[in-house]
Chain A
Amino acid sequence: MPTRVNPAPASAAPTAPPLPALILLVACAGAAGALLRLTIGQIIPEHGMKFPWTTLAINISGSGMLGLLTGVAAARPWLRRWVVPVLGTGLLGSYTTFSLVIVATMPSLPGGTFEGLSAVTYVSPGTLEMLFYLLISVIASTGAAAAGVTIGRALFGCVEDPYGLGAVAAPPAREAGDGSADAGGGAR
């Protein structure tokens, strides 16, 4: 299961922030994230590149920063109330993008689907090459997120909530025959 969400993470803030205010802040942060991605795309244009390297850099840096934020929030749980949703979901979630990577990796359909496209005009990349691009994106971004979590935790000296899972403060009473499929931590 890709996103297993615990209904009530043990270390969540006692009171949830009011949703309208959160939505307003996430909207502002989302706008900033999209503008940041647009600006970087203007500085290092992908037009004519064989692979969307700018998008790769954006996704790796965004994943690393989200990991860092999560690592810091593991040591400073009050951050989870406003800062993690606004900066994590809003800014960094909007800054990084998934759909462009997928559409850019799609094998070119007969008739030149990717001819003349704004951001994905490449010099006829092969399907295998594009799949390697996707693989590099996935592995490097996941590695950056893991490194960010580790660095964030180390900087702020968190010991009791490793990796910011938020639901592992108390050791789970795992039965002997309990499969690992049910042992996924909280998503946040």
Chain B
Amino acid sequence: MTTTLSLTVVLGVALGGAAGAVLRLLLDRYARFGILVANTLGCLLLGFLYGEFSALTSADAVPDNGLFSPGVVTVISYGLIGALSTFATVSLRAAQRWVDGHRMQAAWIWLVNVVCGFVAAGIGMGLSGLVEL
């Protein structure tokens, strides 16, 4: 990151991380395929955010105080989206299947997560081209 971290950004990342982790906990407990939903949602949001952000930067109109200022992007991408999506839980569950002998299931877990992530990120980037913020 090139942004200098202000106290506000650090607090924002902490708040976003808290919200993302709680949302993921609730999804994992009460939704079927909750971690997959959390990861796919994270990819959708990050794809959209990066699409919007790059559209602004490529138009040479980087707002220093707008909705997509570097600080806000840091808070949302590092805090909320980074905490909402997770790598460790997917690794653990795949590893558990693998060492338990269910290797196809382990590969399947990763394949589903990755494909859903790609599709969601693509949709998010596509939406960012349609939605003007």
Q: Which residues of A contact B (CB under 8 A)?
A: 1-3, 5, 22-23, 26-35, 37-38, 41-42, 45, 47, 59, 62-63, 65-67, 70, 85, 88-90, 92-103, 105-106, 109, 111-120, 134, 137-138, 141-146, 149-150, 162-165, 180-181, 183-185, 187
Contacts and interface: CB of A to CB of B under 8 A. Distances in A.
A21 to B, nearest CB: 12
Interface in B55-95: 57-58, 62, 70, 73-74, 77-79, 81-95
A38 B17 CA distance: 10
Contacts, number: 265
B22 A30 contact: yes
A165 B85 contact: no
A94 B82 contact: yes
B16 A34 contact: yes
Nearest to B46: A99
Interface of B is mostly: helix
Contact of B18 (A30, A99, A116): A30
Contact of A30 (B20, B43, B45, B113): B20
B89 A89 contact: yes
Contact of A31 (B15, B47, B57, B117): B15
